[in-house]
Amino acid sequence: MPTKTINDEIDKEFEDILKNIAQKGILTIESIDRLSKLFSIEQISKVKEIMGEIVKVTFIPSSRIVWMKLGTDRDYLLYPKKYCSCMDFYLQGILKNRKYYCKHLIAQGIVAELTKKNPQSIEIVERDENFKEKVTQQLSFEHFLI
């Protein structure tokens, strides 16, 4: 299945779905259905399991915030709606020079909405001096290894 380029129309629909998720406070079947039409069923079928692995790391005292998707063998760095360090994003976004949402970015968007009233549920607080150890060294930029 070819992946879709994110245009303004897709972006607007994604925003609307996210707003709906925030209002309801849960990920409804209707929202999953709309997301599957917007992106791909393959991507959306994996989003639910990824959601539990999305964390927001706040570094103190700088208040620097880093979103990450934690995994058993690798972690990914996420910049909401802009960048993910996974292979899919590299192949579909960076190499094709286009805006793209991988399953991690979709999951992050949903998690951010669902935790708006309770942000500490996904927050990890770290000291600034641990930034390198916690973020840089745990990241696997697998596409640099090909």
- Residues forming contacts to Zn ion in the complex (CB under 5 A) are 84, 86, 89, 102, 104
- Closest CB 17 distance from Zn ion, rounded Å: 19
- Closest CB 108 distance from Zn ion, rounded Å: 9
CB 10 within 8 A of CB 109: no
Nearer to Zn ion, 54 or 86 (CB): 86
Helix (H, G, I), strand (E, B) or coil at 76: strand
CB 47 within 8 A of CB 108: no
Nearer to Zn ion, 46 or 115 (CB): 46
CB 16 within 8 A of CB 75: no
Nearer to Zn ion, 18 or 109 (CB): 109
- Closest CB 45 distance from Zn ion, rounded Å: 15
Q: Buried b / exposed e across 72-101, counting CB within 10 Å, b at 16+? A: eeebbbbeebebbbbbbbbebbeeeeeebb
- Closest CB 77 distance from Zn ion, rounded Å: 9
Nearer to Zn ion, 28 or 45 (CB): 45
